[in-house]
Structure 1
Amino acid sequence: MCIFLLTSAQAAGTAEDENMVVEAKELINNQDTDTVTASGNVQIFYKGRALEADRVIYNRKTQQIFAEGHAKLTERDGSVVRAERFELTDDFKAGFINSLQYDALNDTQMSAPHAELVGNTRVYDKGTYTACAACKDDPNRARLWQVRAKRIIHNAETKTVYYEDASMELLGVPIAYFPYLTQPDPTVKRRTGFLMPSVMYGSYLGTGYKVPFFWEISPDTDITLTPSYFSNGIPYLTGVFRKQFENGNVMLRADGAYLNQSARNLFTAAPFGARDRAFRGVVQSVGEFNLNDRWKTGWNGAYFTDRYFMQDFGMFSTLNNMFFFRESQSKAYLTGQGQRSFFDMQAMYFQGLLPGDIQAQLPTTHPMIDYNRTFDVDPAKTGGIGGQIELDSNFNSVSASLANYQSIQPQTLDSRYNLYNVCQTYSPNSDPNQSQCLLRGVGGNYNRGVVSATWKRKIIDPTGGVWSPFAFTRLMGSYLDYNKTGTYGAYNALNMPISNYNQTYFIPGQNNSFRGQITPGAGVEYRYPILAHSPLGDIVVEPIAQLIARPNQTSIPSLVNLDAQSLVYDDTNLFDINKYSGYDRFETGTRINYGGQATTQFANGGFINAMVGQSSQLAGANAYAMADAANVGLASGLNTRTSDVVGRLVVAPASFFSLTSKGRFDKDTFDVRRIDLLASLNLNPITLGIQYANYYQQQQIGFNYLRRGLSTSGRWDITKNYFINGSVTLDMSRGGAYEQYYNNPLGVFYNNFISAAAINQPLPTLSFSQVTPKSSFYSSAIWGAGGGYNDECLSATLNYSSINQPWYTGKNYNQTIFLSVNFRTLGEMKFQNNIGRLMNDGLSSAMQQ
């Protein structure tokens, strides 16, 4: 091995890194030609670069280096250039390279039969660029994708790549041509310039094309502007501003479309569309800042010019899938988190995005505050009592300008548009089970505060029983200032509008009403776990009983119920002190909750868990049988002295399979009142999931019919790179005689109501036979299928979805095909095709079909 030092004439100096170090098996110094020839595993190191070859010739006169035979040049950043022959200056900054391949650090490649190196710029003649690795079994096989150009210029200083006469190839087949194309160097994360274009097609908007432009204002600030144009003559612009701070970030997005009269005529007039609006759009903003390691503040909000913008322009597909539950929620918040405490303050604004929403009925929260803290009690300082104390508080201030009523038994619509939910009689029935109108929200201001303190302790007796005594005190105060004036022009069959005055029939007392209540209570919970060993594994059987004593309170503490309307009685809240979902309602009297659970733990980590239980009111008034203005508690399974039976079964014998079943059953007949099934199976490469729900009708709270559904999903990883997936959701409530109600879920009841009123006949009601499917025909609510490919250089997905979105004159399907192809380092190309017309998209053309 020979080691030789050469000094570059252009960079002569005394520093060690200015010297060129040559390692080779043989060195020949030819005085006649003034050349030095190195042979055999030659390695030359100079200024952080390394040149390797079988043979290298250095010409002192011309100051050139010639390298050939497995030649390789390693740059300072670690990237590598491989070639048959290098012809370079002695500082490696200029020269010619034959049959080269450039391998960057991010696994991208450039290759060409010939290239020229000039300083920090490489010029590739007839070059190619790709981020795909060569096939191991067939290196000569065409790359999955590559860009082929007459000339590629890579400027390492500006980190920019230029292409002339370029074509995009997929599996060697050209799919796109670009006379001139630029892109940032693959090492660049952010750079001002155009991004990948996208193509869209809608049955009413026509073909749309958009080209995003990214503007890097600074390392922490950027803007993306995306102009779009649809063939129906609608210009559309999206702007996104992002700013990163040391302790947070801000995003502001604005979408807007300008519609001339011709474009506006594509849409129907109000209230079924937004034909009257020339400008339509939405503004969104998200921000969050960490004040310190425990506190943060932020916001997340949006405002739409109209409720139809989202569905007309195909935005926010996730929300579009939820046809019956769609709204925009904006909030600002301040949160703090301690080791055993938290604080949360939120102000919220809701905007309705359904055709039947009345904005004046939607509430604004200003604010809602939650605080919770748990701390230990020192037994030495409390006479041996010990335990834990939990402090919990909530304050809520809500306002709306119009009362929110809901018609039930049956649900009826307004007489003019057949669109808005209206009551025919705006007053509760003396028997809540026969009421046909509920008050869901007040028109006015409502303020309510709750503070509670709970002490609890766990004691294990000598027999192994676990005793958990507890005591609590709850203080609640509310102030209601509801509005008796104000109406909205949605008229019932008697030509009565929605009026705030009708709140007086639901809310006793004067206009301004204050209520307060103190509820102390105490109780104990007992568990006795029994452990047994078996060949299958360890078995634990645990009977549970809980007794809670509270004063008998025969009146509802709050005049209205706004935050405790979603009462679901199941295994998760059986042993809760209060089973209501919010703070406006609270249990009263003496109640006992009892049941048990059993768990079998297998040696392989699998397990089976079963639980069953029930609740009984021993003394005092049953809060769940005391109807409020929203009838919450009725038909809940808790409104009788002895409740329905709830249970749970979880079977997970191995890591690849699990089944969870939860249900509620009639206390006398054990008929199913509510059941949920969830199963998953992962047999790599196949994954399957299934979910089933069956909820009986609860006419007293507005669910007039049986609700059943089945959802399945699956994925098959055919190979390491290819996969297919699919899902289907079946609405099993449909079929047979009941299909007529689903075709027009609200309007049919209204029409029947009008017909009955006109001939002075009893009003129509729903019977169980009317709301039970009478055939095995199940309607597909949502289904989709797709597939894709994914590897280190390309990911592609093709998906089809069909969503059944019932409208008041029938049911319609929103069908979408979505194609996305992501070329690593180049960008993502998308194509979306809405191939199905919607009755609910506000289009006059669709309405006429």
Structure 2
Amino acid sequence: MSFPAFLNTEIWANRGRLLAAVSALAVGACLSQFATLPASAQNFTDELAKQADPNAELLLEASEITYDFDRDLIVATGSVQVYYDGNTVQAHQIIFDRKSQQLMARGNVIFIESNGNVVRTEEMTLSEDFSEGFARALQIDTTRRTRFIAEQARRENDNVTTINNGIYTVYTKPTNPPNKPPLWRVRAEKIIHNQQEKIIRFEDAAFEVYGQPIAYLPYLSMPDPSVRRKSGFLMPSGIVNDKLGYGVTVPYYWALNPHYDATAALTPLTKQGLFGDVEYRHRFTFGQVSFSAAGLFQAQPGQFSTSRADERWRGAINSKASFNLAPDWTLGWNVTYKSDRAFFKDYSFTSFDDNGETSEIFLEGKSDRNALSVKAYAFQISQEDYSDSQFDANGFSPVGSSLQDKQPLVLPVIDYDYVFADPVLAGELALTANFTSLTRDETDAFSIDGGTTPRFRGVDGTFSRLTLKGDWRRTFIDPLGQSFTPFAYMRGDLFFLASPDADVLALTGESFVGRAMPAVGMEYRYPIIATFTGGNQILEPVAQVVVRPDEQRIGELPNDDAQSIVFDTSTLFDYDKFSGFDRAEGGTRLNLGLNYKLQLDNGYYLSGLFGRSYHLAGENSYSTPDILGATQDSGLAGDLSDYVGSLYLDTQYGVKLGAQARLDKDDFSFNRVQAQASAIYGPVVSSLAYAFLNAQPDVGIDSPREELLGSASLRLEENWRIFGSVRYDLENSNIVQDGVGIGYDDEGFSMSVSYAEDRSRNDGDSVNRTLYFRIGLRTIGSTQVSSGALN
């Protein structure tokens, strides 16, 4: 018998409480985030499922709805579906008992929450006030691909949910055999979720692998999903090292405030004592800042064979920050101080690193057409000191000197760029400004021939430079498709040098030095496009001429930011091929190149560029050495430069190839080569890199350097892989670095074991060996054990 009007009165009146109670039971049992303890830089992002809105509309669909007068039951039967406030309940039958005020869902019950969690059971019962409920054979699948399976689940006092004989795990692919146990799971006799205390407790729990228990946990507690952060211990990790001994890192997380927290870790080492590591983080509405510190009082410093052999106290501190002062302005820093150069290498498990040996403070502002940055740099190197008893050039011997004392303090570096919005003379005008000031405590000098010829990377004292530059250019394209781009720039530099070694270095005796460099030029391009069946190709000749006066005061001024001279196709058409502002290219120069591109419809892509540079008039800036002499082996020192070429190939089969080369102008022999190749073919992922640098005696490189670097990974089965890498010195016929390992990865578990050797460190050991073991459980955490310098 159908009673649609009565059904509206009874069920619609209770729809909010009904769905809220069903959701409460499901969410209480669904502990999808229970094992995601807050890590050092991780916060919870999942929240408790929202409560049902009592004003939301409810839709009930069923094949048949009847009313049993004798038992006072409302029964919906046959593919029953209830839609309410983003939630869905599906069952074969839903019964509402008006006498006991209980609702029962039976037969393949599926509850889909608005947050995506799916609850499956055969039968679910709710009490009259919906504060209590009961379900058997409950399974909960979450959006994070985690799963709870319970023999029974009960909700009491509208607050506490208890799961009996529960299992927590992660699930992977639906194709896995249904009766196959997961790789790992946590089984507990009882799981209790107290919403008032916001805590989840596991009683008589066990950690199982492939269905077999390997660790028993009599008691375990976790924060519930509504808690974004919770103080507690994090996953430990281990270390084995012949210089440090055995150790276990035990981290603890403090949720001090919604806006700041801290993580501290202690690592007792059997040979070196207690190692401490702490990090404090504070987040503001306009930015964030962190402070970190790590160190120890070494018990056996003699285990180390280099300068740190006598050091007791070793450690480092770091601070990072980024603040949004305004919509386009950012202030920040990343500053590290370490007690010695090798601290981060010897104690590699420290939670922070050495910033690539560079500490920085910065202020940056950007808009669509202009940018301003103010930065300061300090350098704390990791390279060990060296000595050359034969070098005594002009009184600057490195014997007994410290490389660290030769590092400059750069304060400040100011860069400003501005592009005019409106055309100037129908072209684009851009302004560039740079101010750099640096100070050294000791002159950085070296010899290229045993002491008779000195070279200087930098001089002691203070060196400052102000550079202003304006660039203009305009492009014309004629009816044939030829492109003509006239350009001009004007640059001015003002130098200030205060150095007690200025006279000894044969530098100018003037405190202030000015320099100007005007230039005009033209760039020509003519792309010729040919289309054929299956693709197209483009052949483009390029010519560029730059007319300038000679560079002034070559060899009389320091060169700190233009020391790297790399002449290849990426710099072939640069107006000024120096890498920084301390040098300014002069003289008239012609750059020629031929660009080729091939694109096939089946996915192949090939591009190449070949060219060279010609010095036409004036003094060649690259043939006259400055105080460093880095330009003489650049390939640009003659009127005819070396040849440069590049090639890039991308196939549809996962093979990519890229190469840059500089060929000698006289015999086409290679002076510099860089090549990289990567391939993905079936279960194999591989990469290969090759580098060659010919001898450069003018910068102290007496013999060629040639290395090969390769790595590969082979997938043995669906989840297993082996991998390895090698770095080989072809010139000296020895292995620089090598490593091999095996790993397992799926959606819930990862594990790898690797072994590596390193012969490149200058720390007194011929070979540094590292054994690394890592294991990770998704949603629970990861741990690792590393071993270094095993002999």
TM-score, length-scaled by structure 2: 0.84
Residues 471 and 523, structure 1, Cα contact 8 Å, conserved in 2: yes
Quick check: 1:266 aligned with 2:221?
A: no
Equivalent position amino acid for 1:296 in 2:
T
Alpha-carbon offset, residue 177 of structure 1: 2.0
Separation (CA, whole Å) in 1 of partners of 2:92 and 2:115: 23
Encode CA deviations 1:778-820: one digit per residue, 9 max, x unaligned. x222223334344433333433332223547663133232313
Aligned pair partner of 1:128 in 167, 191, 196: 167
What's the counterpart of residue 708 of structure 1? Answer: 706
Equivalent position amino acid for 2:456 in 1:
L
Alpha-carbon offset, residue 317 of structure 1: 11
Encode CA deviations 1:216-257: one digit per residue, 9 max, x unaligned. 233332211222222235212221222222232222222122
Cα 1:175–1:535, aligned 2, differ >3 Å: closer, same or farther? Answer: same
Match of 1:505, SS?
coil
- Structure 2: which 5+ residue stretches go unaligned? 19-53, 386-401
What's the counterpart of residue 504 of structure 2? Answer: 505
Cα 1:57–1:719, aligned 2, differ >3 Å: closer, same or farther? Answer: same
Separation (CA, whole Å) in 2 of partners of 1:364 and 1:139: 64
Range with bigger deviation, 192-201 or 627-636: 192-201
What's the counterpart of residue 310 of structure 1? Answer: 344
What's the counterpart of residue 417 of structure 2? Answer: 372
What's the counterpart of residue 660 of structure 1? Answer: 658
Residues 530 and 538, structure 2, Cα contact 8 Å, conserved in 1: yes
Alpha-carbon offset, residue 568 of structure 1: 1.1
What's the counterpart of residue 463 of structure 2? Answer: 446
Alpha-carbon offset, residue 444 of structure 1: 0.7
Cα 1:621–1:191, aligned 2, differ >3 Å: closer, same or farther? Answer: same
What's the counterpart of residue 290 of structure 1? Answer: 324
Separation (CA, whole Å) in 1 of partners of 2:88 and 2:129: 11
Range with bigger deviation, 616-625 or 675-684: 675-684
Range with bigger deviation, 591-600 or 804-813: 804-813
Equivalent position amino acid for 1:299 in 2:
W
Separation (CA, whole Å) in 2 of partners of 1:671 and 1:347: 42
Equivalent position amino acid for 1:802 in 2:
E
Aligned pair partner of 1:397 in 425, 431, 437: 437
Alpha-carbon offset, residue 37 of structure 1: 6.7
Separation (CA, whole Å) in 1 of partners of 2:617 and 2:84: 92
Cα 1:363–1:172, aligned 2, differ >3 Å: closer, same or farther? Answer: same
Residues 753 and 771, structure 2, Cα contact 8 Å, conserved in 1: no
What's the counterpart of residue 750 of structure 1? Answer: none
Residues 183 and 826, structure 1, Cα contact 8 Å, conserved in 2: no
Cα RMSD for the two superposed structures? 3.4
Taking the TM superposition and a 5 Å limit, the aligned residue runs for 1:593-604 are 593-604=591-602
Range with bigger deviation, 239-248 or 43-52: 43-52
Alpha-carbon offset, residue 547 of structure 1: 2.1
Separation (CA, whole Å) in 2 of partners of 1:11 and 1:551: 86
What's the counterpart of residue 697 of structure 2? Answer: 699
Equivalent position amino acid for 2:340 in 1:
D
Alpha-carbon offset, residue 366 of structure 1: 0.5
Encode CA deviations 1:468-490: one digit per residue, 9 max, x unaligned. 22222211111110135xxxxxx
Equivalent position amino acid for 1:347 in 2:
A
Separation (CA, whole Å) in 1 of partners of 2:645 and 2:512: 40
Equivalent position amino acid for 2:755 in 1:
Y
Number of aligned positions between the proteins: 733
Alpha-carbon offset, residue 53 of structure 1: 5.1
Residues 508 and 557, structure 2, Cα contact 8 Å, conserved in 1: no
Taking the TM superposition and a 5 Å limit, the aligned residue runs for 1:93-108 are 93-108=131-146
Equivalent position amino acid for 1:298 in 2:
G
Alpha-carbon offset, residue 605 of structure 1: 4.5
Taking the TM superposition and a 5 Å limit, the aligned residue runs for 1:460-471 are 460-471=477-488
What's the counterpart of residue 90 of structure 1? Answer: 128
Residues 729 and 783, structure 1, Cα contact 8 Å, conserved in 2: yes
Alpha-carbon offset, residue 438 of structure 1: 1.3
Aligned pair partner of 2:232 in 193, 198, 220: 193
Equivalent position amino acid for 2:413 in 1:
M
Aligned pair partner of 1:388 in 412, 428, 441: 428
TM-score, length-scaled by structure 1: 0.79
Alpha-carbon offset, residue 90 of structure 1: 1.9
Residues 478 and 558, structure 1, Cα contact 8 Å, conserved in 2: no
Taking the TM superposition and a 5 Å limit, the aligned residue runs for 1:577-656 are 577-654=575-652, 656=654
Match of 1:273, SS?
helix
Alpha-carbon offset, residue 557 of structure 1: 7.5
Residues 380 and 404, structure 2, Cα contact 8 Å, conserved in 1: yes
Identity %: 33
Equivalent position amino acid for 1:445 in 2:
T
Separation (CA, whole Å) in 2 of partners of 1:342 and 1:46: 52
Alpha-carbon offset, residue 507 of structure 1: 3.3
Equivalent position amino acid for 1:363 in 2:
P
Equivalent position amino acid for 2:750 in 1:
S
Taking the TM superposition and a 5 Å limit, the aligned residue runs for 1:390-539 are 390-410=430-450, 425=451, 435=453, 437-484=454-501, 504-510=503-509, 513-535=511-533, 537-539=535-537
Residues 188 and 203, structure 2, Cα contact 8 Å, conserved in 1: yes
Match of 2:179, SS?
coil
Alpha-carbon offset, residue 105 of structure 1: 4.7
Encode CA deviations 1:443-502: one digit per residue, 9 max, x unaligned. 110001111112222223455432222222211111110135xxxxxxxxxxxxxxxxxx
Aligned pair partner of 1:342 in 371, 378, 382: 371
Cα 1:685–1:794, aligned 2, differ >3 Å: closer, same or farther? Answer: same
- Structure 1: which 5+ residue stretches go unaligned? 321-325, 411-424, 430-434, 485-502, 736-778, 838-849
Residues 97 and 117, structure 1, Cα contact 8 Å, conserved in 2: no
Alpha-carbon offset, residue 367 of structure 1: 0.4
Separation (CA, whole Å) in 2 of partners of 1:248 and 1:831: 35
Equivalent position amino acid for 1:826 in 2:
I
Aligned pair partner of 2:150 in 112, 115, 139: 112
Encode CA deviations 1:8-53: one digit per residue, 9 max, x unaligned. 8x999xx88899999784645465x777777655678999988765
Equivalent position amino acid for 1:576 in 2:
D
Separation (CA, whole Å) in 1 of partners of 2:467 and 2:726: 44
Alpha-carbon offset, residue 589 of structure 1: 2.0
Residues 134 and 143, structure 1, Cα contact 8 Å, conserved in 2: no
Alpha-carbon offset, residue 59 of structure 1: 5.8
Cα 1:104–1:703, aligned 2, differ >3 Å: closer, same or farther? Answer: same
Separation (CA, whole Å) in 2 of partners of 1:461 and 1:834: 65
Cα 1:696–1:247, aligned 2, differ >3 Å: closer, same or farther? Answer: same
Cα 1:84–1:508, aligned 2, differ >3 Å: closer, same or farther? Answer: closer
Match of 1:625, SS?
coil
Separation (CA, whole Å) in 1 of partners of 2:201 and 2:143: 19
Equivalent position amino acid for 2:740 in 1:
A
Separation (CA, whole Å) in 2 of partners of 1:87 and 1:657: 59
Encode CA deviations 1:79-112: one digit per residue, 9 max, x unaligned. 5544444454223322443333234454433223
Range with bigger deviation, 38-47 or 782-791: 38-47
Separation (CA, whole Å) in 2 of partners of 1:45 and 1:609: 58
Separation (CA, whole Å) in 2 of partners of 1:393 and 1:579: 18
Equivalent position amino acid for 1:783 in 2:
D
Cα 1:55–1:628, aligned 2, differ >3 Å: closer, same or farther? Answer: closer
Equivalent position amino acid for 2:458 in 1:
G
What's the counterpart of residue 358 of structure 1? Answer: 403
Cα 1:134–1:113, aligned 2, differ >3 Å: closer, same or farther? Answer: farther
Match of 1:782, SS?
strand
What's the counterpart of residue 205 of structure 2? Answer: 166
Cα 1:477–1:156, aligned 2, differ >3 Å: closer, same or farther? Answer: same
